[in-house]
């Protein structure tokens, strides 16, 4: 039992062996109306061969987190903290080193991947592009071979390399995006909502592909989604974000089945389990809307919507507290429910 407050020390791999270690990351966007704090002090670790899930909704900062791993945030944004990829800080890297890391070290499967493919180029050409950039000496035959390999790995026929994006279905395009992310044999893959717009069956296929690829090759993966059940199925550990901060972290099945923080509980209940009689005619949701990063309230950012908010919650923003192998940021964990709403 540890008493330190950093999740790194609460059960994930030791920091030196970590493939990705994000430490106290703060990202603030510059807008016409002042700063927009998207990420407010996040710690996260991903070890080799480990799948870490990041759960949250719009405005929680998860996409910003993903793009910061490859330093893809807009130049006007203010960033502080460290993003250690294999021990080297991405945020402090020089351009040459960063370029090498981008795609060959770590790659991203973007949200809205359905629109990320260039409609005027064939799939094969787009898959070959990262290879041409990072391995310019590779001869064409080898590239074509590799493209066919990649398509096969995501369950698509090699002939598909000649198709244009509009000839593919949503699930197929998503798989092409995954194949593209693997083109340069990265050590880390960041998947931002990879299955959000997909049907259940296609989602299962894509998750299978991701899981096999990750487990089979020892790649580390950071998977972002608002669907806690998908994360619970696939990931080893889950980090839940709200309003730019981590509010819960722990082993995936525990976070899903027995969440500590009320928000994780709400997120878990939002996707009811088929077969659970308690979920019949009892839709569970939170009042209000996800917080606007421009208008964060004093105290706990979740308090306005929290069913267990107490007066103290309106003043102090709770820090992340460790509970064995887990951590959560809520002062009311363990207390009896004094004010049931």
Partner 1 sequence: MTPEPSTGPSNGASKGHSAELSTSGLRVQFATRGGRVARALDGADLVLRAGEVVALVGESGSGKTTLARSLVGLTAPAAGEIRWEGKALERSGRGLKRLRRQVQLVLQDPSGALNPRHTVYESVAEGLRIHKLVSGSGRTEAELVAQALSSAGLRPPEALFLRYPHELSGGQRQRVLIAGALAVSPKLLIADEPVSSLDASIRGEILALLLKLREELGLGVLVVTHDLGLAWNIADRIAVMYLGRIVETGPTEEVLTSPQHPYTQALLSVIPEVERLEPVVLTGEIPDPTRIPPGCRFHPRCPALASGEASGVADACRGTALPILSGDPGGHRCSCHLVSSREVVSS
Instruction: Provide the binding-site residues for partner 1, judged by CB under 8 A.
Output: 57-58, 169-172, 199-205, 207-208, 226-230, 232-234, 256, 263, 266-267, 269-276, 279-290, 305
Question: In angstroms, what is the minimal distance from the CB of 226 to partner 1?
Answer: 5
Nearer to partner 1, 70 or 267 (CB): 267
Nearer to partner 1, 60 or 322 (CB): 60
Question: In angstroms, what is the minimal distance from the CB of 302 to partner 1?
Answer: 10
Nearer to partner 1, 75 or 275 (CB): 275
Nearer to partner 1, 82 or 229 (CB): 229
Question: In angstroms, what is the minimal distance from the CB of 127 to partner 1?
Answer: 19
Nearer to partner 1, 129 or 227 (CB): 227
CA distance 2 to 322: 7
Question: In angstroms, what is the minimal distance from the CB of 229 to partner 1?
Answer: 4
Question: In angstroms, what is the minimal distance from the CB of 292 to partner 1?
Answer: 9
Nearer to partner 1, 132 or 273 (CB): 273
């Amino acid at each position: 039992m540890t008493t330190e407050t950093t999740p790194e020390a609460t059960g994930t791999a030791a920091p030196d062996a970590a493939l990705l270690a994000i430490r106290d990351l703060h990202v603030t966007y510059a807008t016409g109306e002042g700063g927009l704090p998207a990420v407010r002090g996040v710690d996260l670790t991903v070890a080799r061969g480990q799948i870490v899930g990041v759960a949250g909704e719009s405005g929680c900062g998860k996409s910003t987190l993903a793009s910061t791993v490859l330093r893809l945030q807009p130049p006007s944004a203010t960033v502080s903290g460290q993003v250690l990829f294999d021990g080297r800080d991405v945020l402090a890297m020089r351009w040459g080193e960063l370029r090498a890391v981008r795609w060959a070290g770590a790659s991203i499967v973007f949200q809205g991947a359905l629109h990320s493919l260039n409609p005027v180029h064939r799939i094969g050409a787009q898959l070959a592009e990262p290879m041409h950039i990072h391995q310019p000496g590779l001869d064409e035959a080898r590239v074509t071979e590799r493209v066919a390999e990649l398509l096969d790995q995501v369950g698509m026929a090699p002939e598909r390399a000649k198709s244009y994006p509009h000839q593919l279905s949503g699930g197929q395009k998503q798989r092409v995006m995954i194949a593209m992310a693997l083109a340069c044999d990265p050590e880390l893959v960041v998947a931002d909502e990879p299955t959000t717009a997909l049907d259940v069956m296609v989602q299962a296929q894509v998750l299978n592909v991701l899981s096999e690829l990750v487990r089979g090759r020892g790649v580390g993966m950071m998977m972002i989604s608002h669907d806690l059940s998908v994360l619970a199925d696939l990931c080893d550990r889950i980090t839940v974000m709200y309003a730019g901060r981590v509010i819960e972290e722990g082993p995936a099945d525990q976070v899903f089945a027995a969440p500590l923080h009320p928000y994780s509980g709400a997120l878990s209940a939002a996707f009811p389990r088929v077969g659970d009689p308690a979920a019949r005619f009892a839709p569970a949701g939170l009042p209000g809307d996800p917080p606007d990063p421009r208008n964060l309230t004093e105290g706990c950012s979740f308090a306005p919507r929290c069913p267990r908010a107490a007066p103290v919650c309106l003043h102090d923003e709770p820090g992340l507290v460790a509970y064995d192998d887990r951590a959560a940021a809520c002062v009311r964990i363990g207390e009896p429910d004094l004010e049931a709403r």
